[in-house]
Structure 1
């Protein structure tokens, strides 16, 4: 699931404060152990969780708390959220590993079954080829009999019951 990201100006607009206030909030929260993602220029990129922490910080400040107390609280909130996301990610990674192992075992089983089926089909083809060779061998004398008129004689002249032994 992709999470929205915000620049300093966007956070400032959403919280209806100046960009310098957001920078002060971020610095105060970082001072107490929270971290923010930064782009290749070194500018902070904020997430939904960061926005929620800044809202909480702003609420604490407007409620009479000092910036330091509010920053400690916001930093704790961010670290807890990060720890929960990390633990959730580890659980998902373990589930993914188990799923991959299960899928690999299933693929191995299906591969063996497929190999057995291929061998059975090849065996049937060999048997079919053997039957075709045998049929060809049997056709040769029959063709010779047809050519010599023996088969025609058998077909045209009905035999009596005592003649079947010949």
Structure 2
């Protein structure tokens, strides 16, 4: 059964980190949450108190070892994050993006009702510094997630219905 999705866009790191902490405390899990950010924003985007103070070096290969600087369940997702072009993707969206035509990160979420043009707009905003949190799930879970994320000051918060 196709799931709905909710995309929250953040333009500042503090709000993004706060939103991740709020979701984690509200029992959202790695299977419900995907993150999309510029690859050079990884060290700024992690949650938890155990942030590495060493200078960041470029990741080797397709997968980065950012888990060493991440604390918490959702922050640990960055340990399995994958670079897709200039973007880093963590969470269930990784598998979908890898299978998407042309390898476009956000075109992979078309099955959640995100039109290709909207996905391209999100991709452009991520390239320009925005960070995304993508929640998937049942209506009631997304309603809770939407209310929680509203309190964190997202630049935009959009909900999408699955394509039938």
TM range (shorter): under 0.3
- Structure with more relative contact order (C-alpha pairs < 8 Å, separation 6 or more): 2
Greater helix fraction, Structure 1 or Structure 2 = 1
Which of structures 1 and 2 has the bigger CA Rg? 1
* TM-score with structure 2 setting the length: 0.22
Which structure has more strand as a fraction of its residues?
A: 2
Q: TM-score, normalised by structure 1?
A: 0.22
